[in-house]
């Protein structure tokens, strides 16, 4: 009986170790998921290469199968607590979401080749450089870069139907990094 108990404990221990190994991220990877262009979701562990070449590597829960995804193949990605959306091959970190999404550009996909059979097509990416701020209007699929030059025009167009958000945006004095509150105020304007 004692031998049977010992064998059972060993079997349970091995089973637990295997289950733990499947939920621990391989070195350099973080828990995450991606939404592919066809809207399917793939979860696993992600090693991001967003800044270097607008891509990430996703491995399954067991750490066995690895696949490289470029931003042009994805709709969005979540890496631990950070969410990214992909537009024209570029990754944008989501700072706040709703009808208007406040974003910070995280990659530069311009000049990146993609292939249609054997023919190389080069991606133009989006305007701006990593670190720039943007407002994306979900209703119109419209991406607007916020710069010192375009600041007044972008906030006027984005917050035209919400005076409180427009006033809040004007208070940040051309500092795009401070627009998050105005975007959240806009997105919550119809909530009671």
Please compute the mean of the pLDDT values over residues 17-36 and round it to a whole number. 76
Residue 17 lies inside a defined structural domain of this protein: no
Please, are residues 134 and 154 in contact by the beta-carbon 8 Å criterion?
Answer: no
Residue 109 lies inside a defined structural domain of this protein: yes
Residue 177 lies inside a defined structural domain of this protein: no
pLDDT at 60: 85
Residue 126 lies inside a defined structural domain of this protein: yes
| Domain total of the chain | 1
Who contacts 34 (Cβ-Cβ below 8 Å, separation ≥6)? 41, 42, 46, 56, 58, 69, 74, 76, 77, 78
Structural domain that includes position 46: 26-144
User: How many Å apart are CA 148 and CA 173, to the nearest integer?
Assistant: 9
- Asked whether the predicted pLDDT for residue 168 surpasses 50, the reply is yes
Q: What CATH code is carried by the domain that includes residue 121?
A: 2.30.30
- Asked whether the predicted pLDDT for residue 5 surpasses 50, the reply is no
User: How many Å apart are CA 166 and CA 157, to the nearest integer?
Assistant: 9
Residue 53 lies inside a defined structural domain of this protein: yes
DSSP 90-120: EEEEEEE-SSEEEEEE----TT-EEEETTEE
pLDDT at 192: 63
- Asked whether the predicted pLDDT for residue 52 surpasses 50, the reply is yes
User: How many Å apart are CA 79 and CA 86, to the nearest integer?
Assistant: 13
Question: Over the stretch 105-157, which tens digit does the pLDDT of each residue have?
Answer: 999 887 665 555 666 566 567 889 999 999 999 999 999 999 989 999 999 99
Please compute the mean of the pLDDT values over residues 93-110 and round it to a whole number. 94
Q: Which residue has the higher pLDDT, 11 or 31?
A: 31
Lowest-pLDDT choice from 42-51, 63-72, 92-101, 147-156: 63-72
Residue 3 lies inside a defined structural domain of this protein: no
SS3 64: coil
Residue 161 lies inside a defined structural domain of this protein: no
pLDDT at 20: 43
**Residues for the chain: how many in total?**
192
Residue 150 lies inside a defined structural domain of this protein: no
- Asked whether the predicted pLDDT for residue 14 surpasses 90, the reply is no
Please, are residues 75 and 87 in contact by the beta-carbon 8 Å criterion?
Answer: no
């Amino acid at each position: 009986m004692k031998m049977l108990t010992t064998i059972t404990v060993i079997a349970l221990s091995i089973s637990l170790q295997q289950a733990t190994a499947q939920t621990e991220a391989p070195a350099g990877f973080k828990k995450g998921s991606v939404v592919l262009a066809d809207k399917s979701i793939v979860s696993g562990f992600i090693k991001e290469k967003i800044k270097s070449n607008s891509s990430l590597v996703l491995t399954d829960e067991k750490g066995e199968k690895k696949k490289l995804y470029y931003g042009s193949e994805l709709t969005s990605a979540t890496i631990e607590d950070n969410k990214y959306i992909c537009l024209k091959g570029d990754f944008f970190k989501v700072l706040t979401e709703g009808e208007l999404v406040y974003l910070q550009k995280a990659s530069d996909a311009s000049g990146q080749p993609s292939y249609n059979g054997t023919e190389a097509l080069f991606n133009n990416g989006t305007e701006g450089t990593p670190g720039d701020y943007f407002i994306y209007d979900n209703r119109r699929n419209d991406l607007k870069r916020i710069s010192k030059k375009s600041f007044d025009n972008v906030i006027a167009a984005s917050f035209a139907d919400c005076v409180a958000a427009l006033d809040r945006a004007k208070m940040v004095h051309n500092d795009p990094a401070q627009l998050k509150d105005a975007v959240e105020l806009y997105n919550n304007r119809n909530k009671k």
